[in-house]
Structure 1
Amino acid sequence: MGAQLPSKGDQRREQIVAMLKQNGRVTVQELVDKLHCSEATARRDLDVLEKTESIIRTIGGAIYDGHHPAREVSFQEKTTISWLEKERIALKAASLIVEGDVIGLSGGTTTYHIARAIKNRKGITVVTNAINIAMELADSDDIQVVVAGGVLRHKSFELCGPLAEQVISSLNIGKMFLGIDGVAAGKGMTTYSESEAQIAKMLIKRADQTFAVFDRTKVGRVSLFSIAPLSAAHACITDAPLHAEFQQELDRLHIRVHVAD
């Protein structure tokens, strides 16, 4: 018997991958227009491809990540990736924060969502080195914000360098919520920036508890600079159950996993 011809769906998804490789990104509306399919079909195709190809789903489309598996994107671009999942993670994190807490928020889109989730709360002190998080909380009269100064990194809005390190070294943080770019067994928690990794290390050191916050796209990814081994985290907050091997490693290290509702 001859080889089975690819189905219409397979052919359509091959076209989508080709478009992504050529352009770097694609919107659902572009797929509808160019492939003459329904919006629902386009979304389903992207969901299928996310599991098999080097693509990341965004609000309204997808971006291709095959040529740059460890590249850093801008904060604005990151905000479109896994938006709803990050909101759910933020709400779970907010449920662990109580009046009187001194919390730390590193830079990142997930931690930014945490700031939004707690901005109407009372009696909380927030330590951060991210100016966008500080600005989000600036009009919250019942939240004290402590900002570590330093040199601004435009991709993340984080302040880094000796000035930030000097401020953080004198602070005591109760619960640290740490945004990361990658997490993997054996490699620990990683990030794209050496200066951000250094600040994150200090924030962990000054905290009683560290909560690593990450969506499913970060699991198994390894970025260039190491922040800390998995054992440095007291708990993780994520948006979906972890695969068995990674969950077993966290269990071995007695790291609690909070899965967002």
Structure 2
Amino acid sequence: MPEVQTSKGQLRRERLLNVLKRQGRITIQEVVERFGVSEATARRDLELMEKSGPVIRTMGGAMYDGMNAVRELPFAEKEGLSYVEKERIAGAANELIEEGDVVGLSGGTTNHFLAKLLKTRRGITVVTNAVNVAMELGGSDIQVVVTGGIMRHNSFELCGPLGEGMIAHLNIAKMFLGVDGVSSTGGITTYSEQEAQIAKAMMARSQATYAMFDHTKIGRTSLFSIAPLGSLQGLITDRPLPPQLSAAANAHGISQYVAGGDAEPAGMP
């Protein structure tokens, strides 16, 4: 019996993929009506397709991304990429955090490394929408505030209106944001529409936002925009920025921090 159910599910997802290829995107409600399944099954199908094929989950549905060869990787795979660089970036971010700070941490592997460093600190409050970051800080002296929402399995981030509504009542001093791409023209971007929305909500309640990224993200523009470059107060990375991006950062008064090196204050050539 389980084999029959699996076969039916696979056939349905193949048909669903064909629909996505033809029309480019689909809503949860369309999946429910077209295939006669529950909303929970429709969401599960789209999540499975996002993990295995050229599908990107969006707010309330999904879109076909067959032309884009660059895919979002599950957290476990990303954690092993640029491991040393991400640890160094997390270390540089840790130095910017002072006792008494209310710190915002998005999801992502670099922020997971930062959470490990913060475990030994005291007098700090962390606001996060990432389940794994919150779990990492469990048992420490850090006060942790976890936003609500629906968890994305690729990143363990909680997203959606529930979390955005809670964040609207919070005040964050320093926000540390992991991003999938950063460029002078595209600003900071991510693969996920849901994560872009929750990141915008956290930035809106933060006094200062620092984008964290390794050198492989520089010059890349992912599908969904989080914010223009001018919305940031700091860029933390593992190598000096290329001239064009560095000049754009200076023009906006954004400090540049190279992990293992000194910070380059805003306005420096």
Q: TM-score, normalised by structure 2?
A: 0.71
1:80 and 2:68 matched: no
**Structure 1 counterpart of 2:246:** 247
Give the SS at the match of 1:204. helix
Which residue in the other structure is 1:124 paired with?
124
Please tell me whether residue 208 in structure 1 is matched to residue 216 in structure 2: no
Pairing 1:19-168 to 2, within 5 Å after superposition: 68-140=68-140, 142-168=141-167
1:191 match: 190
Secondary structure at the counterpart of residue 171 of structure 1: coil
CA distance in 2, matches of 1:239, 1:117: 17
Deviation, structure 1 residue 68: 5.0
2:139 partner letter? D
Q: Output the CA distance in 2 between the equivalents of 1:69 and 1:123.
A: 44
Kept in 2: contact 1:70–1:192 (CA 8 A): no
Q: Distance in 1 between matches of 2:246 and 2:104?
A: 25
Is the CA contact (8 Å cut-off) linking 1:184 and 1:222 kept in structure 2? yes
Is this contact kept in 2: 1:70–1:222, CA < 8 A? no
Structure 1 distance, partners of 2:187, 2:68, is: 20
Give unpaired runs (5+ residues) of structure 1.
Answer: 1-66
Q: Deviations over 1:19-47 (max 9, x none)?
A: xxxxxxxxxxxxxxxxxxxxxxxxxxxxx
What is the CA–CA distance in structure 1 between the aligned matches of 2:161 and 2:70, rounded to whole Å? 26
Q: In 2, distance between residues paired with 1:77 and 1:161?
A: 24
Aligned length, in residue pairs = 194
Q: 1:234 to 1:144 in 2, by over 3 A?
A: same
Alpha-carbon contact 1:153-1:159 (below 8 Å) kept: yes
List alignment gaps of at least 5 residues for structure 2.
Answer: 1-66, 261-269
2:179 alignment partner in structure 1: 180
Identity %: 57
Q: Distance in 2 between matches of 1:215 and 1:106?
A: 16
- For 1:102, the aligned partner's letter is V
Shift in Å, 1:229: 0.1
Which residue in the other structure is 2:222 paired with?
223
**8 Å Cα contact 1:70-1:224 kept in structure 2:** no
Say what the alpha-carbon RMSD is for the aligned residues: 1.0
